[in-house]
Amino acid sequence: MKAVVTGGAGFIGSHLCDHLIARGHEVVALDDMSTGSEANLEQLNGHPRFELVKGSVLDRALVDEVVAAHDTVFHMAAAVGVHTIVDKPLESLRTNLHGTENVVEAAVRHDARYLVASTSEIYGKNDADGLTEDADRILGSPLKSRWSYAAAKGLDELVAYVHGGDSGLPCVITRFFNIVGPRQSGRYGMVVPRFVDQALAGEPITVHGDGTQRRCFGSVFDVVPAMGRLLETPAAHNRAVNLGGLEEISIGDLAQRVVKLTGTTSGVVHVPYEEAYGEGYEDMRRRMPDTGLAADLIGYEPQWRLDDIITAIIEYKRAGTPPPRHALLAS
């Protein structure tokens, strides 16, 4: 495989680069380094089959040039994290809409199969007991900044499907459900790295609202190998596929779990949503994936338990070193 990974210096993108290189593929990471970092790719520095190109997916000519020389595109670049979306709505919209258009159009022009990363955010406030891929989207008003992200990602999916259908090229859309792991930054909002940072610094752990909202966290080490496998599975082509974990937990309990696993003396404080994200923010009470389709298509079965996921993040943050490669090589 000669693969382009857009957003390759980001959290999931950099793990995907590791994974593809470990399997003998050639990889170019395209990243504008806005939320990605060189540290995430340190371990691939100087590798003969790896290259980092610094540039934006909004640069049409650059995207075209990079994609032209490759047969597979993993489009991971996006504006990520609730704080990014709320603080920079226009920039986020541009990156997510036009960036995806540029990447998919270039893939189609150059006959490259492609995968577009989408998100469980598109289901909005649907709190079903296991969201299947055809579940309804229950979105709040687009005037509320959070939902503009879901709107843009929904259109990204359409761009991917429609071009996939027209061109006949293999394409896959993956919907990630709260994927966490080493290298994820807490800076843009994500709750697990934030709680771990707070616990390790001995600072209060900030639970938003009453902490009864529930999520199901998935490991990056489970989802990364699934991406290439989906692209290689004809029955998965031109479909959206949920990828995530199995264990549901309330955010209040997550805070307690982080306290226990870090052994911190930090206390837990409750912060109102308006204080955390500003006026008019809406959260979803619950988000739980049904990953049955991925199981049917590729035998997807998450291996990482929540305690192990959190422990890997704690170890990474304590050591300040790249995550254990054995985790990737074993999968």
Q: Which residues bind ligand UDP (CB under 6 A)?
A: 82, 121, 178, 189-191, 194, 206-208, 213, 215, 251, 283, 287
Query: How many other CB atoms are there within 10 angstroms of residue 318's CB atom?
Result: 11
Closer residue to ligand UDP in complex, CB, 52/85: 85
Measured distance CA(126)–CA(103) in Å, rounded: 30
C-alpha closest to that of 12 among 161, 175, 194: 175
Query: For residues 313 and 239, is the Cβ–Cβ distance under 8 A?
Result: no
Q: Is 149 part of the annotated catalytic residue set? A: yes
Look at the alpha carbons of 265, 271, 275, 279 in this order and tell me if their dihedral is positive or negative: positive
Shortest Å, Cβ 84 to ligand UDP: 10
Shortest Å, Cβ 239 to ligand UDP: 23
Instruction: Tell me how far CA of residue 280 lies from CA of 37, 140, 283, in angstroms.
Output: 31, 11, 10
Closer residue to ligand UDP in complex, CB, 157/232: 157
Measured distance CA(97)–CA(95) in Å, rounded: 6
Q: Which two tokens stand for residue 117?
A: 């990363």
Shortest Å, Cβ 33 to ligand UDP: 22
User: From the candidates 149, 188, 281, 300, which is the catalytic residue?
Assistant: 149
Shortest Å, Cβ 98 to ligand UDP: 23
Closer residue to ligand UDP in complex, CB, 40/184: 184
Shortest Å, Cβ 176 to ligand UDP: 10
Query: For residues 154 and 122, is the Cβ–Cβ distance under 8 A?
Result: yes
Shortest Å, Cβ 287 to ligand UDP: 6
Looking only at the bridges linking them, the beta strands covering 218-219 and 72-75 are unpaired
Closer residue to ligand UDP in complex, CB, 175/208: 208
Closer residue to ligand UDP in complex, CB, 18/121: 121
Closer residue to ligand UDP in complex, CB, 30/190: 190
Which residue(s) pair with 58 in the sheet?
none
Shortest Å, Cβ 193 to ligand UDP: 9
Closer residue to ligand UDP in complex, CB, 56/213: 213
Active site residues: 149
